[in-house]
Chain A
């Protein structure tokens, strides 16, 4: 096995090979402290405010794809083979502003200016992908960027106008594309990267087999895919994560495909990468993913990581449990596949042995007979942590409930099925009376807590009302049952 002791990547126009990288060193600290690229700001150090937004370019299937990420929780060790682009890379050498920048200036899109470089980078990533974005696309691209001054209106006006300031083909990154692809391709030498030792060690495995071997040797290693949670262990709690194993770049964990009515998602697949297939086959999941984190977090965070970290308020497990998903875990060469719901044992405790890792999750597409829905309730609509999330997968034949899988997040110490509620529905007529009678069963299934996001009383009431909503969806389709921001697509 080839191995090397440095992380190689491109930073704007420069090729870097760093031999000294701490396992928990963030890209933001590298930029601001080591490189004095001070255009990228720290606003929160937890991936919420977007002031640190930069672009990461990666080769995917031979194509170079740039995505916005939060530099504050992105580890340097995960950058091997990437192109990091900061706000400093946009202005031309003659001083001409980039179309994104000029549009923001002309539309008065900055006031205090501290969040502005982050908005520039998020809008830049959007414009590369969608030169003429809808308001919905603009708002989605900006879910991970907070501005406290402008009320966003002038920023959105600027975003609508970017294309009138220049062609995507004139973009500096477009001009560099071939050279960047060549440079990144050359960096992919198939080697394992190992830096440091003892309490200061990081590993980037060369392959999934190599990952399995690394974890067998170091079963207590911290596995990091998107770092949207582990990043906070470092920036907020200053926990040691060494030895750390970065799996985000492993091609074999990037697969997402549908076969025989089951969608399989590799553990390294980000929300963004899973979105196209998931939203095409299970549109309700697409709508949910649109409300998880901001764009930067969706570009980094993985569905595998959302499952593996076992949070009671992870948004993907309840709907996947309702759909009857299974999880494949691997240790060494041994694999096992379990129902997803059994993975969550208790708060902070999952069915994962030392040295074992999540390899993939398999999600059955609902059958035509099944009606599936998932709804997230949070204090703020977008980029917020769930107060209550309910997922329903119910089949009715001849007016009688034949199948019911209902799971909730935010209601217990783990993502959890509402088994008593399910039992109160199955084999009964699908009527208002049945639903009302089943509501009492929530008290058996759940004992929610009060915290900063919601009180126990609200959680319980909202959880029950989501079942009411699910029922009404079937019978009163002609009146609105929810508030909505966008006209139905």
Chain B
């Protein structure tokens, strides 16, 4: 793959796999043959040991006794580790709050918290031995639910207030007011490849950890702290993950730290791969929220003021709950201008697993609150919710200030929505559905068109930086490395396209290599949809450094002005002559030109003052809209997604095929979050839905019967991003809201669309039926 000795094609018009081409995923061929290597597939060196975690069996309490003698005596067991065996700092809190032990020390704070680790000759021996432990607890009262915590509950991190204008006054003065509450559930990532870490001890204090992580640099730092060694002793590498979705942003730390501690202590390779049940029990999820809202509006549906409180179940530690709940507030407007607004977050401590990043990072929960308000206003006025949406969209020159005082400069929501409204034949179908419902007493249809406006950038400004490392070998083949990680989203191929485009070489000349802290240091998580924006630019920067040196060299060598050196497909033109790229590289090497470069990029323009609630946290916004039609059985609450039409914009797309895949997949994942994916904790605080038998992500037969996904072909980023493209990882998830609102619309039809169904999420058949019953009873809430 790397090296090709083709005859020089001086007429070659175009390279294979440049930007804006539908290049296949770089590993597609290996995926389908089973040859793609995930961490559990790597050959195990002789002497490899396997770890299993012993999890707490109460939600909150002091550890009064830990009898691990039977565990130690079990067949195949080599060592048992507890908090006392952590040589460095027993903490992996990503924010430095020191609130998240690697192994519980003295007390446990949720059911399923890792208390000890068994290291054995086989994974099965470790799993079996784990169950022999006798740990006793003095149980203490546990706060499981948001409602248990109450409005004055303990917070895990400082809350945020966003405020513009006089929300309370504006609402009080409004002709109409509605106050309500909404519950929106959490979500398990259900990456198909579970968490895994494989640690290999090296000489001195060194250790190499293969970790299925979106954030190798953080794993490196956490492992270093846990071992009490410098970061330079720890190398973390990941070629690919079997899905991440935010669940491997911080949640990989614990597994990596334990594997590394065991590996260094025993001087043998140690692999830690929890089973699915332990993975789901012991790792954080999307935050569920209780949203209190009040909206003031006029008789025409114009929103005059809103007041939100977003209370989140954060679990026992802060983890990323601060930025997640912040982002919920950043999206409490979705695409709507609020003349007066106040939004407050309440990141609540609970005795549950510490919730974490998940695609959208609080943004989806924020938007769901905005869309509920639209429904409230629409049903109160007996208007189509789409009319209310359109009436309240951000403007372009006026009405364009967000609750965090950033001006929306790139607003295209009206265009996206109006084009989708036409292409999905919204008005016609609205009439057809009304006619259908009039004659169908049991099955009701519903329709909704919801927009998405999603802010792109890490809200912690310093994370918006990236590095890349590009080598050109003497045969003209290229080695590409950068700080981004591949979890299926196609980042590696997109960045390789950028490099191929810059050098004007076919993409198979660019070798994509595993992300490792040894090549690019101090990277940010591959998160916030930022992967290709940041790493694409960093790789472009590295490539341009090398190109600049090649231009200097060629100008001298061929004795032509620099502006006559052109990189053409597969070749370089110097004045009147053209030579293959590889030949130029060979000559440059002989002339001692440096053919390697470290690239760097930092996002311009952004700044954020959290204390003041003001700034420009987002470089730009990504827009899309979705129109969903559902049918609902009002006897059982069962439903079917009949049709979905999506129009989404990804700027000038680097790779339309990859982007459409992100949109289709993101939509279905968002739909799952809001429909069948229900997390249930029992009375003891134990997660009852800890495997796919009880936790139901969408199947092929759940996707819309008719599913039309279109990219806005006119779109381009207003900011100078790589190729003027836009981020695509997270925004499409929120297109799934259209299904929740179509369900709400179908339920509302039972009461003549005059009462807001207040359908909470996930809208399981049970919640849908109970909402129908409320409509029938006329209670309305």
A, B in one complex = yes
CA distance A469 to B190 in the complex (A): 35
Nearest-neighbor residue (CB-CB) of B704 within chain A:
A153
- Asked if A483 contacts B25 (CB within 8 A), the reply is no
CA distance A356 to B489 in the complex (A): 54
CA distance A139 to B700 in the complex (A): 6
Binary CB contact string for chain A from 28 to 41 against chain B (1 if under 8 A, 0 otherwise):
01001000101111
Q: Which of A42-50, A258-266, A299-307, A412-420 contacts B (4 or more CB under 8 A)?
A: A42-50
User: B433 an interface residue at 8 Å Cβ cutoff?
Assistant: no
CA distance A51 to B192 in the complex (A): 8
Cβ–Cβ < 8 Å partners of A101 in chain B: 32-33
Whole-angstrom distance from the CB of A253 to the nearest CB of chain B? 27
- Asked if B667 contacts A485 (CB within 8 A), the reply is no
- Asked if B639 contacts A483 (CB within 8 A), the reply is yes
- Asked if A485 contacts B640 (CB within 8 A), the reply is yes
- Asked if A153 contacts B664 (CB within 8 A), the reply is yes
CA distance A113 to B701 in the complex (A): 20
Cβ–Cβ < 8 Å partners of B25 in chain A: 108, 110-111, 113
Q: From known contacts A46-B276, A113-B488, A462-B769, infer whether A385 and B694 are also in contact, taking CB-CB under 8 Å.
A: yes
Interface residues of A in 233-271 (CB under 8 A from B): 235-236, 238
Q: From known contacts A110-B25, A113-B242, infer whether A151 and B665 are also in contact, taking CB-CB under 8 Å.
A: yes
Q: From known contacts A40-B34, A382-B699, infer whether A115 and B192 are also in contact, taking CB-CB under 8 Å.
A: yes
- Asked if B702 contacts A149 (CB within 8 A), the reply is no
- Asked if B668 contacts A152 (CB within 8 A), the reply is yes
Pick the contact of A482: B633, B678, B689 (CB < 8 A). B633
Whole-angstrom distance from the CB of A219 to the nearest CB of chain B? 27
Binary CB contact string for chain B from 22 to 44 against chain A (1 if under 8 A, 0 otherwise):
00110111111111111011010
- Asked if A112 contacts B29 (CB within 8 A), the reply is no
User: B707 an interface residue at 8 Å Cβ cutoff?
Assistant: yes
Binary CB contact string for chain B from 605 to 639 against chain A (1 if under 8 A, 0 otherwise):
00000000000000000000000000111011111
- Asked if B32 contacts A379 (CB within 8 A), the reply is no
Q: From known contacts A238-B128, A483-B443, infer whether A153 and B707 are also in contact, taking CB-CB under 8 Å.
A: yes
- Asked if A381 contacts B36 (CB within 8 A), the reply is no
Whole-angstrom distance from the CB of B80 to the nearest CB of chain A? 18
Cβ–Cβ < 8 Å partners of A353 in chain B: none
- Asked if B192 contacts A43 (CB within 8 A), the reply is yes
- Asked if B442 contacts A45 (CB within 8 A), the reply is no
Q: From known contacts A108-B24, A113-B242, A238-B127, infer whether A153 and B703 are also in contact, taking CB-CB under 8 Å.
A: yes
Cβ–Cβ < 8 Å partners of B241 in chain A: 112
User: A323 an interface residue at 8 Å Cβ cutoff?
Assistant: no
Whole-angstrom distance from the CB of A300 to the nearest CB of chain B? 15
Cβ–Cβ < 8 Å partners of A104 in chain B: 28, 31-32
CA distance A195 to B4 in the complex (A): 54
Nearest-neighbor residue (CB-CB) of A236 within chain B:
B277
| Residue among B34, B638, B658 with most chain A CB within 10 A | B34
Interface residues of B in 736-770 (CB under 8 A from A): 764-766, 769-770
Pick the contact of B632: A88, A379, A483 (CB < 8 A). A483
Interface residues of B in 696-710 (CB under 8 A from A): 696-703, 705, 707, 709
Cβ–Cβ < 8 Å partners of A196 in chain B: none
User: A458 an interface residue at 8 Å Cβ cutoff?
Assistant: yes
User: B688 an interface residue at 8 Å Cβ cutoff?
Assistant: yes
CA distance A51 to B709 in the complex (A): 27
Pick the contact of A149: B488, B694, B705, B709 (CB < 8 A). B488
User: B201 an interface residue at 8 Å Cβ cutoff?
Assistant: no
User: B490 an interface residue at 8 Å Cβ cutoff?
Assistant: yes
Cβ–Cβ < 8 Å partners of A454 in chain B: 766
Nearest-neighbor residue (CB-CB) of B439 within chain A:
A479
User: A327 an interface residue at 8 Å Cβ cutoff?
Assistant: no
Binary CB contact string for chain B from 594 to 613 against chain A (1 if under 8 A, 0 otherwise):
00000000000000000000
User: B275 an interface residue at 8 Å Cβ cutoff?
Assistant: yes
User: A150 an interface residue at 8 Å Cβ cutoff?
Assistant: yes
User: B198 an interface residue at 8 Å Cβ cutoff?
Assistant: no
Cβ–Cβ < 8 Å partners of A142 in chain B: 699-701
User: B21 an interface residue at 8 Å Cβ cutoff?
Assistant: no
Pick the contact of B669: A148, A375, A480 (CB < 8 A). A148
17 contacts between A and B (CB under 8 A): A44-B692, A114-B488, A117-B33, A142-B701, A146-B190, A146-B692, A150-B661, A152-B668, A152-B700, A153-B703, A379-B765, A461-B769, A461-B773, A462-B635, A480-B440, A481-B633, A483-B639
Q: What are the 5 tightest A-B residue pairs by CB atom distance, in nearest-first order?
A: A39-B34, A112-B488, A114-B242, A113-B31, A151-B668
Chain A residues in the interface with B (C-beta under 8 A)? 29, 32, 36, 38-46, 48-49, 51, 86-88, 90-91, 97, 100-102, 104-106, 108-117, 120, 138-140, 142-143, 145-156, 235-236, 238, 375, 377, 379-385, 387, 451-455, 457-458, 461-462, 465-466, 468-469, 472, 476, 479-485
Chain B residues in the interface with A (C-beta under 8 A)? 24-25, 27-38, 40-41, 43, 124, 127-128, 131, 189-194, 240-245, 275-277, 439-443, 487-490, 631-633, 635-640, 657-658, 660-661, 664-669, 676, 678, 680, 682, 688-689, 691-694, 696-703, 705, 707, 709, 764-766, 769-770, 773
